[in-house]
Amino acid sequence: MTQKSINQRPKIALFEPDIPQNTAAIMRTCACLGTKLEIIEPCGFLLNDKRFKRVVLDYMDEKEIVFYQSFDHFFEFKKNQRIILMTTKATKSYTKFKFEKDDTILFGRESAGVPKKIHNLVKYRLKIPMKNDKRSLNIASSAAIILAESLKQTGFI
């Protein structure tokens, strides 16, 4: 796989992640499926955290991780790109959405999602349909589901 093809694939972005094991699992998923991971800081843990290292193993390729100092920097960098926010507050299912090759799929903090300001900045908001009596899936599971679907739709898998 060439560097160019990685840059043209859908990407996963995490807003201020706060659970190291989940971020590590998402990093492994991105590494295995050949896509970039973007982290909007501040991050709620250090990358040398033993809980993070236990899950990420040797899958951490720092060349495939992009860090943004804040969501303002992230949105400035992404101003000409599509950002898709995954949120339980959305009305549209990811199964009814047409992903594109250069999409950035944004996930909020495990403990709090994203602020209302970000909801208002993002044009596309999607959800994973679930049983009515359930609150949410684990973020690592959600990222895997959505990344696989976006890669399938865009012809990368």
Q: State the chain's mean pLDDT as an integer.
A: 88
> Is there a contact between 77 and 106 (Cβ–Cβ < 8 Å)?
no
| CATH code: domain of residue 75 | 3.40.1280.10
Whether residue 15 is predicted with pLDDT greater than 90 in this model: the reply is yes
What is the H or E stretch that residue 5 is in?
Answer: helix 3-7
Predicted local distance difference test score (pLDDT) of residue 59? 63
Q: Number of structural domains, the chain?
A: 1
Whether residue 1 is predicted with pLDDT greater than 60 in this model: the reply is no
If you average pLDDT over each of 25-34, 43-52, 66-75, which comes out highest?
A: 66-75
**Tell me: the pLDDT tens digits for 17-26?**
998 889 889 9
Predicted local distance difference test score (pLDDT) of residue 30? 92
Domain range for residue 52? Answer: 3-153
Q: Where are the alpha helices (DSSP H) in 11-138?
A: 20-33, 50-56, 71-77, 116-121
Predicted local distance difference test score (pLDDT) of residue 56? 65
